[in-house]
Structure 1
Amino acid sequence: MPQLRDSSNSQPLPAQESDTSFERIFGIETEYGVSVTGISHDSAQISEHSGGLTDAAHVAARMFEPVMKTSHSSNTYTANGSRLYLDVGSHPEYATAEARTVRDAVLLDVAGERTMRELALAAQSSLRDELRDNALNVHVYKNNSDSRGHSFGCHENYLLRRSVSLSFLNRAFIPFLATRQIFAGAGTIRNGQFQISQRSDFLDDTISSATTRSRPMINTRDEAHADARIYRRLHVIVGDSNISQRATWMKMMTAHLVLCALECASRGCHDYEKEVGHQWPTLAHAGEDMKHVSRDCECNFFLSLTNGNTLTAVDIQKFYRTVAEKFLLFHGRDLARDIYDDAQECLKVWETTLNDISSGSVHALSSWVDWAAKHELLTQFKANGVSASRMAQVDLAYHDIAHRGVVDALHRSGRIMPLYTHDDISCAQSNAPQDTRAALRAQFIQAAQESPYEWSVDWTSVTVTDRNSRHCSAHLLNPFVYEQSREFRDVMAVLSKNQRIVNEPMLPLI
């Protein structure tokens, strides 16, 4: 077992740490895969002579040309306060702005999908014109692995009180994450076998700072983007990228409730082990067992616990649902009303889902669980004599957010129902949540884009530099604060002093 060290500040915690609040900030970072198909022989020759215009790296760069034109960087923040950038390996990535509710986090994630789709189709049009080939298609995949065996992630971020230690998370939260895939997995065909999770094969450790050679379920990179004396940013990298909006909502909503219970237990305000009648179901071989669960579509595999007992993934999830239910019973009044209502809905869906899995009714899950929807679709294809190679293409096409053939067909048939409308998503592309600091960042970006001055922005600060090279900054350390501070008003006042000067470059420094 890895040695776990907290990097928390040794200073005494502020008084807010002792309150009974269970507020949280949520965020989702999604890495996308890119490919090109339909290239004619002539286009391939042109591309080769032009420096490989159609390999993934060049296509990703082409996607970001409109971003470079407006922000002079491939690493920028968008109008809704989210971050858009090209990550290592030419993976387009979108990190949502801070959200106070899971619903807002999921909506921002879907808005990021829409933004990536628009960039991909613009790059496709540009390449078609340049190569004189209308058969060329640019694909952007919201999935977690490619044909060469590389993995890229969907990372969840939860603002967590530092009273919850890493060792406690290793004991009490890892079993939840390792088994959550039974309703949060995206599904895939790998080596001729259907698996529940795309990500599980690439994760070996539970909690560590590694990200490449031995990936953990939780990465300990300690960048709180908030007051580090009170909070850590829990960086969960075990999850699949979900196409189903409901699946994304459920995987994060269930995690939120479990984290609330862990925060409660760490404060000593409730004895969950005594109340539930169990100790936390700590796994003896979490990395290995997660892979076994992924290969067991019947969800009957027994996982070994450190106390010598064995439980199935469904059993473990039922334990955590009971823990979450007890938390709501004793502390529901400490949640904001909208969070409480979502928590009640989550408990109902959670119970129904686990009962359906226990009874073997996978079909009942196919309206929102990605792996179940995909499994049902591929099973039908196989029964109709579709070849294995064609099914592999359908498996990949399920995640193509640029062309969306498979998922749009499922939406039209009512087999998978989205949570948000077209108008909801369009609005979220250009508007930040109004109840977190993302609202301030978005206000600053809008004003800065109309200013002649150099400016910079990150998660916790905004800065403008006037013509006399004087810097004016505002710190946004508290993610829950969305009212303008005096220093923020000072920054906005600098931006508002002049109209944009024609032909003078605007340089956002990220």
Structure 2
Amino acid sequence: MRYMGSETEYGISTPSAPLLSPIITSTHTVVAYSVARGFGDHRVRWDYQDETPLRDTRGFDLRRYHQAPVVDPHSIGVANVFIPNGARFYVDHAHPEYSSPEVWTARDAALYDAAGDHILLQAVADVAGFSSQDRSVLDGHDPCPPLKIYKNNVDGKGASYGSHENYLYSRETPFDDIAQGLIPFFVARQVIIGAGRVGLGPQGDKPGFQISQRADYIEQEISLETTLNRGIINTRDEPHTGDNDGRLHVIIGDANMSHTSNFLKFGMTEMVLNAIERHVDFSDLKLANPVKEVKAVSRDLTLTHKLTLANGSELTAIEILREYLQRSQDSDGDDGNTLGEVAQKWAEILTLLESDPMSTRHLLDWTAKLALIRSYEARGVAINDPKMSLIDLQYSDIDPQKSLYHALVKKGRMEIMFSAEDIAHAAAEPPNTSRAYFRGRLMEKFGDHVLAANWESLLVRSSTGEKYRMYTTDLGAFVDWTPTGVDMSHVLIDEVSTIDQLIERLERLNGNATYITAVKSD
């Protein structure tokens, strides 16, 4: 069992007002969604007390502040809300960001990631609803023009934004073992999870097509940074849980529309992490120059490029991934979740890629996009024609009526794993295997009583005004099942009708573990 989840920064634009600040439009997006869902003016303040974004797994902390800041939740660019499916929806820099709820299978991780697209589509409709009434959800600002949202990683002007993955790992395994075991895998897995990109180089100004949108922005093997000097391995030590576990924050991945690519992104990485924690040795796969190879793999559409290993031997990305599959599969059976399905699909994709990369265009993003590009090239359109960049962008449009990805799905040319109904359900209901269930149901039933929140706790106010902090540090806290058969979350939150009853039940649970404490008024 390994908890995991995703964080997606969506591209946002206003075609009718191209100079409008994306910070303002992103704030419109989150606030309109919040107001339309009945949260009204009450938007939960993000609680920074457990945040340590500059603490490094290697043992140092570039502490940004000595006291947790209190930020006005109504400020432009600060909009934040936990939503009933247990996810966080907020503004991050100049993007609306969706952080999925914690789950423990690759299938659920891919499903709840796709739910983010559904939520963003709802938010776009909510913004349009307010604007059509010639009013704004932001005081002092005009109504927001029509929005376009893209699930991609580049803006075409030199900037890249993230689609990050998060995996729980045991601190009993030295982080250096995890990092060194993962580097060759992360370099090679592009050939399965790449989203495809028109343009080469950070600015995208050199003509060509490459497999990954993120490859040109990776500059180091290991780094704490996420917006510059990005590393293949990110060392942020911010577990959002107890001290016995760490959270592997993965920034070397593309935002995927393909369900298969996303499913394998999570599933393959889970299998490799399982193998590393079981002391499977991958040291013979160490690369001589991994940063250089990230770009080389991304630009090799034939998948025949030989990566040079530290021992002097050479392997293709497919051959490296076969080694990882074999060793991970040998060390790890299907322990009750979806790993058997992952291994089968992983092997299938490698066989297809080896015979002909384009034979995966019904499964993978980069080959599906490349097939579209080549169809236009066959009509005489050059790769550096602006039309090609538009195809790239339209593929990642989340609007089913405009998206080239969704057009392929409708025509039966792209396989899906989840129906529209599955995704809509995940956008509305929390998973029942993590603390996200308690968080989501709390926001749905008693959101007006929640004053501030983060992944590890929620600050609430009782009906008589007293403040309490509810702790969800344990990722498995209050889940919708327990080994003893007691349905803790149901007893705690589904059976109560007031916030006071919930507070009372949590206080009775306090003992060996602390679930709630009273907070002195300021």
Normalised-by-shorter TM-score class: 0.7 to 0.9
Mapped contact 2:186–2:252 kept (Cα < 8 A): yes
RMSD over aligned Cα atoms = 2.6
Shift of 1:495: 0.8
| Matching residue within 273, 276, 288 for 1:262 | 276
| Matching residue within 143, 161, 167 for 2:152 | 143
- Residues 485 and 442 of structure 1, relative CA distance in 2, 3 Å threshold: closer
SS in 1 for 2:278: helix
Give the distance between the partners of 1:293 and 1:307, measured in 2 at CA.
19
Shift of 1:28: 0.4
| Pairing 1:232-271 to 2, within 5 Å after superposition | 232-265=246-279
Query: Does 2:194 match 1:185?
Result: yes
Give the distance between the partners of 1:454 and 1:491, measured in 2 at CA.
19
Mapped contact 2:460–2:470 kept (Cα < 8 A): no
- Residues 441 and 126 of structure 1, relative CA distance in 2, 3 Å threshold: closer
Q: 1:154 — aligned with what?
A: 163
Give the distance between the partners of 1:29 and 1:65, measured in 2 at CA.
19
Mapped contact 1:33–1:146 kept (Cα < 8 A): yes
Give the distance between the partners of 2:497 and 2:92, measured in 1 at CA.
34
SS in 2 for 1:253: helix
1:425 is aligned with what amino acid? Answer: I
Shift of 1:261: 0.4
The CA deviation string for residues 321-360 of structure 1, in whole angstroms up to 9 with x for no partner, is 11122113xxx27x12xx1xx222222222222222222x
SS in 1 for 2:117: helix
Q: 2:344 — aligned with what?
A: 348
1:351 is aligned with what amino acid? Answer: A
1:65 is aligned with what amino acid? Answer: V
Q: 1:321 — aligned with what?
A: 325
1:432 is aligned with what amino acid? Answer: P
| Pairing 1:356-395 to 2, within 5 Å after superposition | 356-359=352-355, 361-386=356-381, 388-395=385-392
Shift of 1:263: 0.7
Shift of 1:124: 4.1
Query: Does 2:206 match 1:196?
Result: no
State how many pairs are aligned: 437
Query: Does 2:176 match 1:167?
Result: yes
Mapped contact 2:121–2:398 kept (Cα < 8 A): yes
| Matching residue within 2, 11, 34 for 1:33 | 11
Mapped contact 1:60–1:92 kept (Cα < 8 A): yes
Mapped contact 2:307–2:314 kept (Cα < 8 A): yes
| Matching residue within 447, 452, 456 for 1:456 | 452
- Residues 459 and 366 of structure 1, relative CA distance in 2, 3 Å threshold: same
Q: 1:56 — aligned with what?
A: 22
Moved more, 419-428 or 119-128: 119-128
| Matching residue within 234, 238, 242 for 1:219 | 234
TM-score when scaled to structure 1? Answer: 0.80
Q: 2:444 — aligned with what?
A: 446
Give the distance between the partners of 2:493 and 2:297, measured in 1 at CA.
53
- Residues 383 and 124 of structure 1, relative CA distance in 2, 3 Å threshold: farther
Gaps of 5+ in 1: 1-22, 266-271, 499-510
- Residues 455 and 492 of structure 1, relative CA distance in 2, 3 Å threshold: farther
Give the distance between the partners of 2:491 and 2:130, measured in 1 at CA.
43
| Pairing 1:44-193 to 2, within 5 Å after superposition | 54-69=20-35, 70=39, 71-72=42-43, 73=73, 74-88=79-93, 90-124=94-128, 126-127=130-131, 130=134, 137-190=146-199, 191-193=206-208
SS in 2 for 1:352: helix
Mapped contact 1:463–1:491 kept (Cα < 8 A): no
1:153 is aligned with what amino acid? Answer: G
| Pairing 1:290-439 to 2, within 5 Å after superposition | 290-328=294-332, 332=333, 335-336=335-336, 339=337, 342-359=338-355, 361-386=356-381, 388-402=385-399, 403-439=401-437
Moved more, 77-86 or 169-178: 169-178
